[in-house]
Amino acid sequence: MEENKESLKTSEDIVNYIKSSTSNSTDLVYRKVQVLDDILYVVYSEAMTSTVVISDFVIRSIKEVSTEEEKKQKLSTIQNDLDLYIDDNLELEKSKAAKFQKKKDNLKTKIASENLTDKIVNKLEENISISKAKRIDIVQDDIFYYIFSGFTCIIYNKEILAVETKGALDRSINIPSVENNIKGPKDAFTENYQTNVGLIRKRIKSEKLVLEENLIGRRSKTKVGMMYVSDIVRPGIVKYIKNKLKKIDIDAILDSNYIMELLEDSNKTSFPTMVSTERPDLVSYYLLQGRVALVVENSPFVLVLPAFMRDFLNNVEDNYQKSLDITLTKIIRYVAFVITIFTPAVYIALTTFNQEAIPTDLLVSFVSQRKGVPFPAFLEAFLMILSFEILREGDYRVPNSSGSTLSIVGALILGDAAVSAGIVSPIMIIVIAITMISGLMFVDVNLLNALRSWRIIFLILASIAGIIGVGVATIMLFTKIANTTSFTKAFSYPISPINIKGIIGKVLKRENISNDFQRESILTDNITKYRIDKEN
């Protein structure tokens, strides 16, 4: 293919190469523009560009350049006439000859010595009022990347000028649709790469905030930007991530989750090891801790790494509330985390194997409620969990205007009908309802899937060995979390490796902002934050 590119000598050759490579795709537009005695080609993708910008700026600028070149050509003709005039009138007075010679020199200065191609391309670069204009080479550069990225290619002889004329293909900035918040900023990332970078830059106006870009995907050529604060992040983490990005060889990157799956250290664990968020304030907060953010083109979610288990249990909105009130909120979240995994399994273990651990009155109540239920407790719990999961998946798929209503009505009707029909016991409805409601406190889809997987594992082991099975499942869960890493960092930090200050300040409560002077040593060598001494 490179040999074919080398043989492209004229504008027509390049245009024919584009047509043949794209099989004459109908969304590509080829316009001819007359420039003096030559033809200039304007090539762009109608679907990716703004035709208004092309007409008002690109085509008009080309015509202005053409007009200037015609004027210069006329000046050149006048200059030639002056030469003939001076040669034919050698007897003129020296003063008149000097005057004519001065005009001749001025005209020569106006007429550039370079060829016409360079004149036009250079003039276009000066005149076109577009944010980005770049001269590209047909051999070294991928012209199709520019065309299908919303650039207009101006082809004159073998010179190609790519001018950014992108159309408005992205939605505007909206409020977060997944990570809802009561207090704090209301803007969220969009599918526009530059907009996402700008939302982060708007919050961190520092020259130390670095953006490095990569094109990943053989066909999609998706832009992936790596952002970090250079004087906070550890160089080793940046280098490690760069090397992993370079090793990615895939046909296309269609969303940030592709990058997440390809980069994750622990693909054998169900827990997510990268934060995927639509909130610019959360990304900015993590960047200032010494982490790295990956902005993926065409995705409204930005990835942050490394990540810890606590990041999925905490909420950025904690930073916008009083620190004294956050401790109770965090405790409630951790209790909900335990309930959503353990509750069904503990209920099955106690009612099936370890009935002696239940108070007599409560045990009698359980037995009376289960009277007439044809299924064992394990199958009863499994069917109800399956029903609630189907309702939850249905809630994700139907329109927002009717999704919640259908889920609530479906759950009420399903539960009431199941109890009335004697298929399940009322206490089982309560157990499963508490389990599913506790899971609603967490919004990360990957974490919810992990909780669902472990809930089933606990349920199966509890149905086999009772409380002993629950204990075995608990050991398995803790071992898996302890063995999980996120880009060489322990996923279970600060529990393991243990950090008492981190447990108190990050897990159990939030450090008061006015007293938060240090970053964590696991993430950065620049421990001390900028501190303003209070006035007495």
Q: Residue 148's closest CA among 249, 298, 262?
A: 298
**Which pLDDT score is estimated for 88?**
55
pLDDT tens readout for residues 395-441? 777 665 445 555 666 666 777 777 777 788 888 888 988 998 898 88
What value does the mean pLDDT take over residues 498-522? 77
Are the beta carbons of 233 and 241 closer than 8 angstroms? no
Spatial separation of the C-alpha atoms in residues 425 and 372, rounded to whole Å: 9
Least confidently predicted of 7-11, 13-17, 64-68, 384-388:
64-68
Please provide the average confidence, as pLDDT, over all residues in the chain. 82
Instruction: Answer yes or no: do 261 and 284 share one domain.
Output: yes
Task: Note whether residue 380 is domain-resident.
Answer: yes
Pairing mode, strands 275-277 and 292-296: unpaired
Spatial separation of the C-alpha atoms in residues 478 and 489, rounded to whole Å: 17
Tokens of 418: 């199941």
- Helix axis angle, 377-397 to 400-420, nearest 10°: 160
> What percentage of the chain has pLDDT greater than the value 90?
33
- Residue with the bigger pLDDT between 65 and 271: it is 271
**Which pLDDT score is estimated for 147?**
92
**Which pLDDT score is estimated for 497?**
82
Instruction: Answer yes or no: do 281 and 324 share one domain.
Output: no
What value does the mean pLDDT take over residues 448-476? 93
Instruction: Answer yes or no: do 325 and 265 share one domain.
Output: no
Spatial separation of the C-alpha atoms in residues 394 and 432, rounded to whole Å: 18
**Which pLDDT score is estimated for 114?**
45
Select the highest-mean-pLDDT range: 66-70, 199-203, 326-330, 504-508.
Answer: 199-203
**Where is 135: in which H helix or E strand?**
strand 133-136
Spatial separation of the C-alpha atoms in residues 48 and 50, rounded to whole Å: 7
Last residue of a domain, one of 164, 181, 214: 164
Residue-number span of the structural domain to which 65 is assigned: 2-164
Biggest distance spanned by C-alpha atoms of the chain: 134
Q: Residue 463's closest CA among 359, 379, 357, 375?
A: 379
pLDDT tens readout for residues 303-356? 999 999 999 988 878 888 877 778 888 889 999 999 999 999 999 999 888 888
Instruction: Answer yes or no: do 335 and 297 share one domain.
Output: no
Last residue of a domain, one of 250, 280, 307: 307
What value does the mean pLDDT take over residues 205-227? 93
Return the residue matching tokens 């207090």.
Answer: 183
Instruction: Answer yes or no: do 261 and 329 share one domain.
Output: no
Instruction: Answer yes or no: do 454 and 351 share one domain.
Output: yes
Are the beta carbons of 181 and 443 closer than 8 angstroms? no
Kindly tell me the burial class for residue 58, based on how many C-beta atoms sit within 10 Å of its own C-beta (0-12, 13-18, 19 or more).
buried
**Which pLDDT score is estimated for 116?**
56
Task: Note whether residue 516 is domain-resident.
Answer: no
3-state helix, strand, coil in the chain (%, to 5): 55, 15, 35
**Which pLDDT score is estimated for 170?**
75
Strand partners, 135: 161
pLDDT tens readout for residues 74-115? 666 666 656 655 555 555 555 555 555 555 555 554 444 345
Give the chain's end-to-end CA distance (angstroms, integer). 73
Task: Note whether residue 98 is domain-resident.
Answer: yes
- Helix axis angle, 256-263 to 235-246, nearest 10°: 110
DSSP-derived secondary structure letter, 231: T
Pairing mode, strands 302-305 and 151-156: unpaired
Instruction: Answer yes or no: do 136 and 224 share one domain.
Output: no
Task: Note whether residue 154 is domain-resident.
Answer: yes
**Which pLDDT score is estimated for 502?**
76
Spatial separation of the C-alpha atoms in residues 53 and 326, rounded to whole Å: 51
Q: Using the predicted structure, report yes or no on whether residue 119 has a pLDDT greater than 50.
A: yes
- Residue with the bigger pLDDT between 212 and 94: it is 212
Instruction: Answer yes or no: do 479 and 335 share one domain.
Output: yes
Q: Residue 344's closest CA among 390, 314, 388?
A: 388
Task: Note whether residue 513 is domain-resident.
Answer: no
- Residue with the bigger pLDDT between 535 and 21: it is 21
**Which pLDDT score is estimated for 4?**
66
The sheet that has 292-296: what strands, in order across it? 209-216, 222-229, 292-296, 302-305, 275-277
Task: Note whether residue 394 is domain-resident.
Answer: yes
Are the beta carbons of 474 and 341 closer than 8 angstroms? no
Task: Note whether residue 314 is domain-resident.
Answer: no
Instruction: Answer yes or no: do 246 and 347 share one domain.
Output: no
> What residues contact residue 18 under an 8 Å CB cut-off, 6+ apart?
28, 43, 143, 144, 147
> Three-state SS for 161?
strand
Q: Using the predicted structure, report yes or no on whether residue 217 has a pLDDT greater than 90.
A: yes
* Residue 188: C-alpha distances to residues 178, 222, 299 (Å): 10, 21, 12
Domain count, the chain: 3
Instruction: Answer yes or no: do 296 and 354 share one domain.
Output: no
- Residue with the bigger pLDDT between 343 and 10: it is 343
Are the beta carbons of 229 and 287 closer than 8 angstroms? yes
Instruction: Answer yes or no: do 270 and 376 share one domain.
Output: no
What value does the mean pLDDT take over residues 35-55? 85
Instruction: Answer yes or no: do 391 and 467 share one domain.
Output: yes
Task: Note whether residue 284 is domain-resident.
Answer: yes
Tokens of 520: 């964590």
Last residue of a domain, one of 307, 337, 356: 307
